[in-house]
Amino acid sequence: MNLDQLHYLSVLAQTENYTQAAKLLNITQPTLSYAIKTLESQLGIALFEKVGRNVRLTANGRLFVQESDQAVEGLNRAIERIHQVEQEGFRVRISSLRILGSHFLPHLLRDFLAATADDSIHFEFAPTPGFSQAIIEGLRSEQYNICFCSKVDNQNDVDYYPVLEQKLYLITPKDHPLAKLKSVNLQDTFAYPHITYASNTGLANELSNIYALCGRSPMSSYSVSEDVEVAGLVSAGFGIGVVPQLDNMDRLDLAKIPIAYPQWHRFVYMAVLKEHYQNPAAQKFINYVKKQKFI
């Protein structure tokens, strides 16, 4: 018994005519007749009975066709799923902070593909939720294979590998009293309202550590989730803020001042689930990133 026989049986059961079934199957009528007779011999039952020029299923035949159709359908689903899994083996789903999307991440992917010379690997970029906490939540729910973001907690289910170090700067409107400074002590900025980061962002956690070194926190005029939002509100005169180096920062209508105290660098990490199965393409990329000396 083989799948061809079961397929022939299903078509003949629907048409109840050997000539029509053979045409639909694109085989000769003798080939179809031989296949059905062989199947009946193997099963030890009659599947069809003649009715004039046509045939119809016997009671045993109806039962067998019903079960065999379900079995073939199950096999087809299994084959389709195997093909899907094979395709997933070449897919790498990534989510990252938006600030990495214009330079760091595209160049990293380009260098990886050039180093591996593997044209089968396909990267998929998930719509970014914008901030690290939501990105890590997506990683934990297995929406992504790999994330590039800040470290948001100390739970032991995620491995973090540093890939980028960013200096932090104070940004102000160009007409602000601090705008002409060559460098700034962060303690001297607390007299002015700040644009701060929402508590569920990775940078909010880092800045809270920095403010702790200063012994106090700034007054917040607005709390936002993304670096570009901080920069936009500062350039519009709503306050001052602390941000990492941003792409095209020099084009914005604001002053960028190095922070002399406390000296602090922000780290961005590749985050992956610990002891979690990764498909071959994702594992190859993870291994590549881990071997690079970014910092």
CA 42 – CA 49 distance, rounded (Å): 17
pLDDT of residue 1: 76
129 preceded by cis ω (within 30°)? no
pLDDT of residue 89: 54
Residue 172 has pLDDT above 70, yes or no: yes
Structure tokens at 253: 């209508």
| Cα-Cα-Cα-Cα dihedral sign, residues 157, 161, 164, 167 | positive
pLDDT in tens, 78-116: 767 665 555 555 789 999 988 788 788 999 999 999 998
pLDDT in tens, 200-255: 787 888 898 899 999 999 999 999 988 888 999 999 999 999 998 776 666 778 99
Segments forming the whole domain that contains residue 280: 91-159+270-291
Report the CATH number at residue 137: 3.40.190.10
CA 139 – CA 273 distance, rounded (Å): 7
pLDDT of residue 273: 96
Looking at the structure, tell me whether residues 99 and 133 fall in a common domain: yes
Average pLDDT over residues 121-133: 81
Report the CATH number at residue 65: 1.10.10.10
Q: Is 73 helix (H, G, I), strand (E, B) or coil?
A: helix
CA 124 – CA 177 distance, rounded (Å): 46
Average pLDDT over residues 60-85: 78
Give me the residue label for tokens 């694109």: 26
Q: What angle do CA 28, 30, 34 make, to 5 degrees?
A: 120
Looking at the structure, tell me whether residues 103 and 147 fall in a common domain: yes
CA 232 – CA 280 distance, rounded (Å): 41
Report the CATH number at residue 261: 3.40.190.290
pLDDT of residue 130: 66
Residues 6+ apart with CB under 8 A from 248: none
DSSP, residue by residue, 224-291: ESSHHHHHHHHHTTS-BEEEE--TTGGGSSSEEEEEEES--EEEEEEEEETT----HHHHHHHHHHHH
287, 277, 285: which is closest to 94 by C-alpha?
285
pLDDT of residue 94: 94
pLDDT of residue 77: 77
pLDDT of residue 247: 65
Residue 162 confidence class, pLDDT cut points 50, 70, 90 = very high
Helices (H), 89-185: 104-116, 132-140
Residue 274 confidence class, pLDDT cut points 50, 70, 90 = very high
Looking at the structure, tell me whether residues 262 and 179 fall in a common domain: yes
Q: Is 193 exposed, middle or buried (0-12, 13-18, 19+ CB in 10 A)?
A: middle
| Structural domains in the chain (count) | 3
pLDDT of residue 85: 54
Looking at the structure, tell me whether residues 119 and 41 fall in a common domain: no
Residue 28 confidence class, pLDDT cut points 50, 70, 90 = very high
pLDDT of residue 226: 84
Looking at the structure, tell me whether residues 150 and 276 fall in a common domain: yes
Looking at the structure, tell me whether residues 240 and 181 fall in a common domain: yes
Query: Which pairs count as long-range contacts for 211-220, CB under 8 Å and 24+ apart, including other chains?
Result: 211/186, 213/262, 214/186, 214/187, 214/190, 214/262, 215/187, 216/187, 216/190, 217/190, 218/189, 218/190, 218/192, 218/193, 218/194, 219/190, 219/193, 219/194, 220/193, 220/194, 220/195, 220/196
Residue 182 confidence class, pLDDT cut points 50, 70, 90 = very high
Average pLDDT, the chain: 88
